[in-house]
């Protein structure tokens, strides 16, 4: 199974269009040790020929351009794409906006939970993906299903299961209480399995904390891509960027006793890679103390173009 990080950044990417934080300034200037990152997406393929996108980011056009395996193949005719399916993990702008890039009457299958399909289905702009060409399949929760293209067998399965998280920002309802209207299926983790080798990995780009269920699921995993939005829960507040903590945004932070680095220590995960990394996160800078700390704890900081074979 081939896995490629198309974009390791969180919403906004690095640099973000309107941001003058230290990381954005350095990345915009092309300083060594802090490469730019596009927004949150992975691509996966069993055979290296047919690919599935896990989330479709606003940077998808650029990500396809940067990834020859995703280019149309000349021998396949005048219109072609190796992208056969897209699975989305929530309704956030950074995870669904790229669907619009996939117009032009190209067949692929779209997988999402019932909750996220409600969001996509209620926004008529997504009708540009005509249902006759782009079938929309609902992911059950906690049950693996075959992950196929509109026409082809891709040799993979996907299981979506709920993780602690939040409804998309633009759907938050203050009147609905502390959960802001969040329901099961608004944010899911994915386990993708190669049906031939039986190997699997987890993709969890948004997660508020590790509950017992998630801990059990991830224990002894071979590979996990995990929410690396923030280093510190108050990182954006302290830098006067946004008066919201990580938890208010539905994201666990890397550091501290309640952070992901501590939580994973007992899980015996063989390879751990942070993705969905916000531009304020100090681990993005290879020279930072925080980067050294995360790496010493066995974590890799995801970067665009990173490839993993499982």
Q: C-beta of 227: minimal distance to ligand MLT in Å?
A: 8
Binds 19: which of Zn ion, Mn ion, ligand MLT, none (CB < 5-8 Å by kind): Zn ion
Piece of 41-49, 72-80, 87-95, 182-190 that binds ligand MLT (CB under 6 A): 87-95
Closest CA to 295 of 244, 242, 254, 248: 254
Binds 285: which of Mn ion, ligand MLT, Zn ion, none (CB < 5-8 Å by kind): none
Rg of the chain over all Cα atoms, to the nearest angstrom? 18
E strands, the chain, where?
2-7, 41-45, 51-54, 83-87, 109-113, 136-139, 145-148, 153-162, 188-194, 200-204, 223-227, 271-275, 299-301, 307-309
Cα–Cα distance, 208 to 218 (Å, whole number) = 15
Which positions from 2 through 31 interact with Zn ion, judged by CB under 5 A?
19, 21, 24
E strands, 12-50, where?
41-45
Output the six-digit token pair for 210: 């590790």
Task: Tell me the residue nearest to ligand MLT as measured from the CB.
Answer: 11
Output the six-digit token pair for 208: 């508020």
Q: Is 187 in the site for Zn ion (CB under 5 A)?
A: no
Q: Is 185 in the site for ligand MLT (CB under 6 A)?
A: no
Among the listed residues 150, 169, 234, 306, the single contact to ligand MLT using CB under 6 A: 169
Q: C-beta of 12: minimal distance to Zn ion in Å?
A: 7
Give the footprint of ligand MLT on this chain (CB under 6 A). 10-11, 92-94, 169, 206, 249-250
Give the footprint of Zn ion on this chain (CB under 5 A). 19, 21, 24, 279
């Amino acid at each position: 199974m081939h896995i490629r990080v198309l974009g390791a950044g969180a919403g906004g990417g690095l640099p973000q269009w309107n941001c003058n934080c230290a990381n954005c300034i350095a990345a915009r200037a092309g300083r060594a040790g802090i490469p730019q990152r596009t927004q949150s997406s992975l691509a996966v393929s069993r055979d290296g020929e047919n690919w599935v996108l896990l989330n479709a980011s606003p940077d998808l056009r650029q990500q396809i351009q940067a990834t020859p395996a995703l280019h149309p193949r000349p021998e396949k005719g005048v219109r072609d794409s190796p992208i056969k399916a897209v699975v989305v993990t929530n309704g956030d702008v950074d995870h669904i906006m790229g669907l619009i890039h996939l117009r032009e009457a190209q067949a692929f299958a779209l997988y999402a939970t019932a909750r996220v399909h409600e969001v996509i289905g209620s926004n008529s702009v997504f009708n540009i993906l005509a249902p006759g060409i782009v079938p929309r399949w609902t992911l059950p929760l906690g049950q693996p299903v075959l992950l196929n293209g509109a026409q082809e067998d891709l040799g993979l399965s996907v299981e979506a299961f709920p993780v602690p998280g939040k409804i998309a920002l633009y759907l938050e309802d203050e009147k609905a209480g502390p959960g802001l209207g969040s329901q099961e299926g608004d944010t899911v983790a994915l386990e993708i399995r190669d049906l031939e080798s039986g190997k699997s990995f987890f993709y969890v780009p948004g997660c508020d904390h590790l509950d017992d269920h998630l801990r059990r699921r991830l224990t002894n995993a071979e590979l996990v891509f995990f929410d690396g939005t923030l280093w510190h829960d108050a990182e954006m507040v302290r830098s006067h960027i946004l008066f919201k903590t990580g938890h208010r945004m539905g994201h666990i932070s890397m550091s501290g006793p309640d952070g992901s680095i501590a939580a994973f220590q007992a899980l015996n995960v063989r390879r751990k890679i942070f993705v969905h990394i916000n531009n304020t996160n100090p681990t993005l800078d290879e020279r930072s103390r925080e980067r050294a700390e995360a790496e010493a704890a066995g974590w890799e900081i995801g970067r665009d173009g990173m490839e993993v074979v499982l």
